[in-house]
Structure 1
Amino acid sequence: MKVHNVELTISAVKPEQYPNNGFPEIALVGRSNVGKSSLINTLIDRRSYARTSGQPGKTQTLNFYKVEEKMYLVDVPGYGYAKVSKKEREKWGRMIETYLTQRPNLKGVISLIDARHEPTELDLQMLEFLHYYQLPVLAVGTKIDKVPRSKWNKVASNALRKTDFLNSDNYVLFSAVSKIGKDSVWDWIDQMIEKD
């Protein structure tokens, strides 16, 4: 998709704040600092529209980015950030779980995993959670530009081996630097939002 119009519609923390225009939504989940904002910026062809931060745990709301007056990309707070209090983490957890399990507009979830490492326990828990709720998932291995090209196949096969439901159709290697994987991610998004 060629993106001309994008707008941060709302940063929500509860269902009554979600947009109510019925547009399909694709959520992005992943550990803090895995590159969600960088992926969003690459998808919408903006350098720094979604705020990237060197400070993990910065996104504390569900950020709804309206794209081309037809869909939303929803940036979900990152998980696994230790410096946030347990109480705060539980609050985020409830907010994220409510959105992922009760939002009828949600058509699919992009789960970001740092390609430089094998999926963590938290990554696998998130993937299992999404699978349990039968949400369509695209796993995206981020920061692949930091991995030698000769190891890309190994990175992908290691990630796929860790789960029993991911396969090469729903796993993409991505780089915000070289834009590798951008078209594949958009192809998947288009398939999800055109269902029904």
Structure 2
Amino acid sequence: MPLNFGKAAFSRSAGAPKDFLKDGLPQFAFAGRSNVGKSSVINRLLNRKNLAYVGASPGKTTQINYFLVDDRAYLVDLPGYGYAKVSQAEKERWAKLMETYFQEGADAITAGVLIVDIRHKPTENDKVMHGWFRESGCPEIIVANKLDKLKKSQVEPALALIRETLELTDEDILIPFSAEKGMGKDELIGLLNKACES
């Protein structure tokens, strides 16, 4: 039975490792830099306007947020990295929290979803996050968001640059996506369902 992504509810926020959910349900971990539209991608998947918090200024997700889908799996919204105007100490706290999530929760991660901006070359932080997913051994789906901001002729070169920068193989999954318009949504839902079943 495919997951019903229309049936979703906020479950909890984890600001410390003791709050991590470890109840055996599959977890899809969503990562990306602060202004890449991570919350918008999650909201698009769940058909909700603002279940995942969409901030006017980047860096609003300061904890690990769990959303329960169909009572059978979690979408896990990880803190954004990069642009947020917060103190160095706070950035280090986020980094530590995420590092611990990857170390302690690796078994729980069913699939990692790395969201990058299709208009730009992936950042060093994107490469680090990609490395974390690879090392955790879980399947990774790379979502190139903001597709609606490009002309058709720009899409292939942009995807080629992402593939090259992240050193993707033919096996790696890269989906052009638009949280704004919903392009790529069905493909991503299909892949998450597939990961859940395997």
Are 1:111 and 2:147 counterparts? no
Report the CA distance between 1:82 and its aligned residue: 5.0
Structure-1 residue corresponding to 2:53 = 51
Q: CA deviation at 1:169?
A: 4.7
For 1:81, the equivalent position in structure 2 comes to 83
TM-score normalised to structure 2 length: 0.92
* 1:166 Cα deviation after fit: 4.4
Partner of 1:130: 133
Give the residue type in structure 1 aligned to 2:91.
R
Change (3 A) 1:190 1:94: same
Q: Counterpart of 1:53 in 2: which secondary structure?
A: coil
Superposed displacement of residue 157, structure 1: 1.1
Matching residue of 1:176: 179
Cα displacement (A) at 1:2: 3.9
Instruction: Identify which of 186, 190, 195 aligns with 2:193.
Output: 190
Paired residue total: 195
The 3-state SS of whatever aligns with 1:40 is helix
Deviation by residue 1:124-147 (Cα, 9 ceiling, x = unmatched): 121123223323211110111001
84 and 187 in structure 1: CA distance in 2 versus 1, 3 angstrom threshold:
same
Other structure's SS at 1:116 match: coil
Given residue 33 of structure 1, which amino acid in structure 2 is its aligned partner?
Answer: N
1:149 to 147, 152, 173: 152
Q: State the shift of 1:15 in Å.
A: 3.0
For the 8 Å contact 1:77–1:92, the answer to whether it is kept is yes
Change (3 A) 1:169 1:163: closer
TM-score by length of 1: 0.93
Assess if the C-alpha contact under 8 Å between 2:58 and 2:84 holds in 1.
Answer: no
Q: CA deviation at 1:33?
A: 1.2
Name which of 76, 89, 92 aligns with 1:90: 92
- Does the 8 Å CA contact 1:160/1:167 hold for their aligned counterparts? no
Match among 100, 103, 106 for residue 101 of structure 1 = 103
Give the residue type in structure 2 aligned to 1:40: I
Q: Percent identity?
A: 34
Q: Residues 73 and 123 from structure 1, CA distance in 2 versus in 1: closer, same or farther, beyond 3 angstroms? A: same
Tell me the alpha carbon deviations over residues 69-98 of structure 1, each in whole angstroms, 9 at most, x when there is no partner. Answer: 010000000001352211111111110011
Secondary structure in structure 1 of the residue aligned to 2:168: coil
| Residue 34 (structure 2) aligned to one of 17, 32, 35 | 32
| Higher deviation after alignment, 20-29 or 124-133 | 124-133
Report the alpha carbon displacement of residue 121 of structure 1 after superposing the two structures with TM: 1.6
Q: Give distance in 2, aligned partners of 1:94 and 1:145.
A: 34
Is residue 33–residue 54 contact of structure 1 (8 Å, CA) maintained in 2? Answer: no
Deviation at 1:168, TM superposition (A): 6.7
Partner of 1:17: 19
Report runs of 4+ in structure 1 exceeding 4 Å deviation: none
The residue matched to 2:79 in structure 1 has which SS?
coil
SS of the residue 1:80 aligns to: coil
